[in-house]
Amino acid sequence: MSGRAVDPATRALQARATAPSASAWVSANAGSGKTFVLARRVVRLLLDGADPSAILCLTFTKAAAAEMSSRVFAILSAWTRLDDAALDTEIAALEGAPPAAARRDRARRLFARALETPGGLKIQTIHAFCERVLHQFPFEANVAGRFEVLDERGAAMLAEETRRAVIARAAADPGPLGNAFATVLDAASDQGIETALEAIVAKRDALGALVRAHGTLDTAIAALGRALGLAPGETAATLWPLMLDAAEGGREALARIVAAAAASDKPTDRKCAEKLEALLAMEEPVAAGEAYLDFYRTAAGDWRKPDKILTRAVRDRLPDVADLFAREIDRVAALADRIAAAESHAATAALLRLGEAAIDGYEAAKRIRGVLDFQDLVSRTADLLARSDAAAWVHYKLDRGVSHILVDEAQDTSPRQWQVVERLASEFFAGEGAVERTRTLFAVGDEKQSIYSFQGAVPAWFGRQRTRFRGRAGQSGAPFEDVALHLSFRSTPAVLAAVDAVFAQPEAHQGLAQEDAPTVHAAHRRGEPGRVTLWPPIAAEKRAEPEDWHSPLDHLDEKAPEITLAERIAATIKSWIDGREPIEATGRPIRAGNILILTRKRGAQTDAINRALKAAKVPVAGADRLALAGHIAVMDLAALGDVVLRPEDDLALAALLKSPLIGLSEEALFDLAHGRKGSLYEALRASDDLFARAAFERLAAWRARAGFEPPFGFYARILGAEGGRRRFLERLGPEADEVLDEFLAQALAQEEIEPPSLERFLAHLRGAATEIRRDPDLRRDEVRVMTVHGAKGLEAEIVFLVDGGSAAVHPSHDPAILALSDDADAEDAPLVWLAPRARRPKTVETAVAAVRRKALHEYRRLLYVGLTRARDRLIVCGTQKERKGADPLWIEMVGAALGTIGTPVEAKAGDETFEAIEFRLYEAVAAAGGPAGAGPKPEVELALAGPDPLAMPLPPAPPALRRLVPSGGAEEAPPLFPAARALEEGPDGGMALERGRIVHRLLQALPDRPAASRAAIGRSYLDAVAPLWPEAERAATLARLLALIEAPEHAALFEPGTRAEVAIAGMVDTAGGPASVSGRIDRLCVTPERVTILDYKTNRDVPGSLAAVPEAHITQLALYRAVLSPLYPGRIIDGALLYTETPRLIAVDAATLAASLATLTGP
């Protein structure tokens, strides 16, 4: 938090949140000081006498735990060095009152007491806490006494091994397991089975809860059938025959239709007759049923119209045939849905049985090795705390050691993790415990920042748990504080205003939090300048197919929008750093470390940005995650393994020879390979070149060792004693160091699971999608490029938020296993497999739609997190792709907001200039030394004569002024928060308002631009703020406005010197007394003889003459004229109404305006 004084209201909220005697639930906006409040609550608990060992603080990440611990110890250690007066001031600021001497002494001893506490302060992740509990109670939890925890890599490798073992066993099994395997294989591909089993093993906790709720797996599968609407024993095999057998009128009715249609001379009728006759002849019920189903559907899969299947002539001969077809379509559609449900049920049942075997194998493998994975830590602890036979003893032991629980980032806590917290705190509000003492629960989080659904987080649980714990506290009479922190200590007012403008739109804030409401932020950095800029999205240019068909499909050419955007970003940053451009609020020059570049996902765009920054010689930290198998160093090491196993692999040998391990040049490799008669290995052996001979001898030595050394020892020696690591680092830079470490760790982990084998290790290396997570080193002055997920908890003075142009939600992101329930987060919800080749019934489609809706909400929360990382400047940019779907993208949501509050500007990146939209608040600093106006202020003495004015009675309040609003005539002063008027605007009111705002903005900005650039500026602006408008409408709107501005008869109104958006305020005498007038003139033209007030109207209905103009429009101009009259004495003041639709300019003379004003002011 900054040194600026915090307002009393926020201090009061912080005091309530940190009060040690009350439980508290804190909803905190981004940058509002969550960690600050959490650390001070811990300090206040200690100061209030809480035992350090009795405080449990659960964080989301290890980094957060380290940061929290550092903050707490920084406060406590500082207190040991302060004198009495300074320490009293610190404690008074924390608690609201100066401490007594005994309390001051206790504060000085807290640092030593916390250090000397066995185990120290328990500030840790929930996984670390659960691991400690399970080690403390291994017998009760039924785990190995000295179990080890598998990391993600080890767990993935072990799960993969057991999955493949189950697949191999099932493929050879003639019984139920083999049948299940055949069913799953029919519903998916070979790779699809692996994916499905991986998903079901990951869902083993949910499957276990489902089985426990129903008793057995078979009863759980039966429950799924009921949830899908199937009757007992109903299968696809029993339902398909009903397609034809249950047809209205039976086969005889269909035969009559065939006869009537065949007798027609119309091709449509004959084709129908042929289809029906063919399916009636089919003996196989599934084929016949599918043919009958297809008879009623179009090629696109839609249902045919009953009265369009046969021609009128046949319908006349069969009067009831159209009604029959209509009833049959309804019946067939319902039956098809039941068949889809049966197929989905059968595929899911088979996968669950196959998955049960895979889960059993995985659990057995972990028991044999005495290991647990991260999911086990939480689920085993939750089950331990819930078991009736052991829970009492565990609670007794833990109750003596935990009195205060604090949960950080509570919005990202999964339901299973909440179970652990809830069961730990089960006695807190019951008044019963091992020792009578104050016990509290504290949680802090922000639903708007819940972006980890892929890790099990459910945003709705933040609100659910608040309601639950608040209710328990109320029942027990325990104090409970519900606090909301809106004041941001991070961002400038400009950034926060832009964020609120973005999420003021319903399509942006829906799903952002439990209550669908716009965001509300307040800025602690009041008066500090900042800016938000929107760059127009870059679209791909249409180009011919590449001549080189060998080029990879995912290769980015030089004109790819990702490359263009990356170069634009790099050029902008380069110019800032080289030009020592200052940050407005501080005056300090921009450094690389001040900049954070965020994307939605890793891929071609992040790679292009990293390459562009490196090419521009801008310090960059590199990718925050690296795919191990795809890194060039690992590919070289894998090529080494391939060569020692199969030296005749010419491609692998060529890669190895060029790698840093050998270092053959391109020319030397060509000379060696070109014109050879045998393999490359034989050519290397026969070469007389000294370098080639040395390479062959080194390779021969490696081959000799490979058969006797395990993979880890083999590669460790090459990278260590033989200098391989040094050569890699010399060529690839320090980034390769982490890659090589992870490569060796993979080799060692593989040996711990199965007998060492180089070939098996290489197969695993290429098959496993191992990633290296690289935490950014904030001490290094480098640009950071990462995903929004990776940037959670980080901030930077300048943030680029890059929208890759991909759809907000895509079917490829649908989960493989889906819960079917009104509450999809319920523990015992039936599970269904979204098999790739299986039909989906409506029940499943409804559940899928709900999942996609939640994914869309998380997409919006990702935008919120990305925007709120910025302290001073925010640049939103991206690329544009062809896509389907109406869900607005990040750049479109930001564009819709900045289009109403921003201003078109000319942006420059290197040699490139382009139009952007910018929103600023306040002025920049005066010089690179601090904010403008900083420094000592002159002292001013006030000489007060007479009585103290503070003691004098206040004069009576003046009567409330009548307020005149030019756009609407006379009205009473509006309430502070007027009611929304969306319902009064009609069905198209919102679009009309948006269109009006955009037209006004263009008319404000375009006249001040050079005539030659107006069209380009207008197109860029409309593309950014109105991307959902049809292209023709954008073009027509711009053409109308340009014609209007450049028309000779309007030249005087738009020439240089005229002013746009002129705010006015004044007083007008009316018959009812003085009234205030305020408004904004769209354009004001002032000459020595005349003043013309121009007001724009975007009405669709354009009046034909002055007489047809609505009186309210004339009254508006009359009020403006009344306010301006004292400012321009002796000049004619008239007005004009410019209707933009036609366009048409209607002049309103001074006499007409005077007459209109008289109706308000009286004679």
Residue 4 belongs to a domain: no
Choose the final residue of a domain: 339, 361, 385: 339
Helix or strand or coil: residue 121? coil
Asked whether residue 620 falls in the same domain as residue 630, the answer is no
Residue 802 belongs to a domain: yes
Asked whether residue 639 falls in the same domain as residue 655, the answer is yes
Q: What is the CATH number of the domain that holds 41?
A: 3.40.50.300
Residue 921: predicted pLDDT:
82
Residue 105 has pLDDT above 70, yes or no: yes
Residue 550: predicted pLDDT:
45
Residue 841 has pLDDT above 90, yes or no: yes
Q: What is the CATH number of the domain that holds 1103?
A: 3.90.320.10
Contact 1157, 1118 (CB under 8 A): yes
Asked whether residue 25 falls in the same domain as residue 158, the answer is no
Residue 3: predicted pLDDT:
60
| Helices marked H in 868-925 | 890-901
Q: How confident is the model at residue 1029 (pLDDT cuts 50, 70, 90)?
A: confident
Q: Which residues of 4-18 are buried (b: 16+ CB within 10 A; e: fewer)?
A: eebeeebeebbbebb
Q: What is the CATH number of the domain that holds 703?
A: 1.10.486.10
Asked whether residue 324 falls in the same domain as residue 348, the answer is no
Residue with the bigger pLDDT between 1161 and 694: it is 694
Residue 963: predicted pLDDT:
55
CA–CA gap between residue 833 and residue 844 (Å, rounded): 9
Two tokens at 724?
């391989």
Q: What is the pLDDT of residues 973-989, one digit of tens each?
A: 333 223 323 223 333 44
Asked whether residue 382 falls in the same domain as residue 356, the answer is no
Residue 474 belongs to a domain: yes
Contact 162, 204 (CB under 8 A): no
Asked whether residue 790 falls in the same domain as residue 857, the answer is yes
CA–CA gap between residue 1111 and residue 1158 (Å, rounded): 13
Asked whether residue 824 falls in the same domain as residue 883, the answer is yes
Contact 875, 797 (CB under 8 A): no
Q: What is the pLDDT of residues 890-943, one digit of tens each?
A: 999 999 998 888 899 999 998 889 999 999 986 544 333 344 333 333 333 333
Q: What is the pLDDT of residues 362-381, one digit of tens each?
A: 999 999 999 999 999 999 99
Residue 1053: predicted pLDDT:
85
Residue 846 has pLDDT above 50, yes or no: yes
pLDDT > 70: percent of the chain: 88
- Residue 35 labeled ligand binder: yes
Residue 1033 belongs to a domain: no
Asked whether residue 290 falls in the same domain as residue 429, the answer is no
How many domains are contained in the chain?
6
Residue 1048 has pLDDT above 90, yes or no: no
CA–CA gap between residue 909 and residue 914 (Å, rounded): 8
Q: What is the pLDDT of residues 290-306, one digit of tens each?
A: 999 999 998 888 999 99
Residue 417: predicted pLDDT:
92
For the residues of 924-976, what is the DSSP string, one character each? Answer: PPSBBTBSTT-SPPPP------SS-GGGSPPPPPPPPPEEEETTTEEEPPPPS
CA–CA gap between residue 484 and residue 10 (Å, rounded): 10
- Residue 170 labeled ligand binder: no
Domain that holds residue 256: 237-339
Q: What is the pLDDT of residues 743-774, one digit of tens each?
A: 898 888 878 777 888 888 888 787 766 666 66
Asked whether residue 636 falls in the same domain as residue 620, the answer is no
Residue with the bigger pLDDT between 1033 and 779: it is 1033
Residue 969 belongs to a domain: no
Q: Is there a cis peptide before residue 1074, judged by omega within 30 degrees of 0? A: no
CA–CA gap between residue 1001 and residue 906 (Å, rounded): 16
Q: What is the pLDDT of residues 179-216, one digit of tens each?
A: 999 999 888 876 788 888 999 999 998 898 889 888 99
Residue 374: predicted pLDDT:
92
Two tokens at 45?
């608990």
Q: How confident is the model at residue 962 (pLDDT cuts 50, 70, 90)?
A: low
CA–CA gap between residue 504 and residue 518 (Å, rounded): 5
Q: How confident is the model at residue 428 (pLDDT cuts 50, 70, 90)?
A: confident
CA–CA gap between residue 878 and residue 254 (Å, rounded): 58
Q: How far is CA 703 from the centre of its chain?
A: 49
Residue 864 belongs to a domain: yes
Choose the final residue of a domain: 921, 946, 966: 921
Asked whether residue 216 falls in the same domain as residue 268, the answer is no
Asked whether residue 794 falls in the same domain as residue 911, the answer is yes
- Residue 29 labeled ligand binder: yes
For the residues of 56-112, what is the DSSP string, one character each? Answer: EEEESSHHHHHHHHHHHHHHHHHHTTS-HHHHHHHHHHHHSSPPPHHHHHHHHHHHH
Residue 937: predicted pLDDT:
34
Two tokens at 1087?
């000459």
**CA end-to-end distance (rounded Å), the chain:** 61
CA–CA gap between residue 768 and residue 678 (Å, rounded): 34
pTM exceeding 0.95: no
Which residues are bridge partners to 1067 per DSSP? 1076
- Residue 824 labeled ligand binder: no
Residue 997 belongs to a domain: no
Residue 502: predicted pLDDT:
94
Residue 999 belongs to a domain: no
Residue 884: predicted pLDDT:
63
Asked whether residue 639 falls in the same domain as residue 763, the answer is yes
- Residue 32 labeled ligand binder: yes
Contact 849, 833 (CB under 8 A): no
